[in-house]
Amino acid sequence: MNSAFCLAVHALVYLHHRGELVSSEELARNICTNPARVRKVMAGLKKAGLVETREGSEGGYRFAGEPESLTLDRVAAAVDARFVAARWRSGSLDQPCLVASGMADVMDGLLGEMDDRCRAYLSTVTLAELDRRLKLVK
């Protein structure tokens, strides 16, 4: 998994808490990253309709929607997150061995199923649930 999903969820929770327009600089300070990275991730959230934006020196981002109905699988889709994937594949299709030539495809299928299960779980978790969890931590 890359960090875009974590950044997006953090930003949405923060925007919901603030309830107003927030600059990428302020979001970056709260998330502990840089504003350019925030803007890149927020572009996906805007395209998915999860945030509203305003351009210019008084611009920024605002949470759009209801935290009770925003599930985390929608956030994952907005930032094109993969939760379970391999960067390296074992074997090679041109090998005469059944295991060497087929294992990569078998593992890709397994990892795809695991990713689907992560998304299914995330479809049951809402932004409001994360808000409740945060309040329990304090």
pLDDT at 84 over 60: yes
Q: Convert 56-88 into a string of H (helix), E (strand) and C (coil).
A: CCCCEEEECCCCCCCEHHHHHHHCCCCCCCCCC
| pLDDT value of residue 73 | 97
Determine the Cα–Cα distance for residues 52 and 64; give it in Å rounded to an integer: 6
| pLDDT value of residue 137 | 60
| pLDDT value of residue 14 | 96
Domain housing 8: 4-137
How many domains does one find in the chain?
1
CATH code at 55?
1.10.10.10
* Least confident interval from 83-92, 97-106, 115-124: 83-92
Q: Are 53 and 40 in contact (CB under 8 A)?
A: no
In sign, the C-alpha dihedral spanning 28, 44, 21, 19 is negative
Q: Are 53 and 61 in contact (CB under 8 A)?
A: yes
3-state secondary structure of 22: strand
pLDDT digits (tens, 9 = 90+) for 50-83: 999 998 878 899 999 899 999 999 999 999 999 9
pLDDT digits (tens, 9 = 90+) for 33-47: 999 999 999 999 999
Instruction: Kindly state the tokens that stand for 58.
Output: 């008084």
Instruction: Kindly state the tokens that stand for 45.
Output: 């959230």
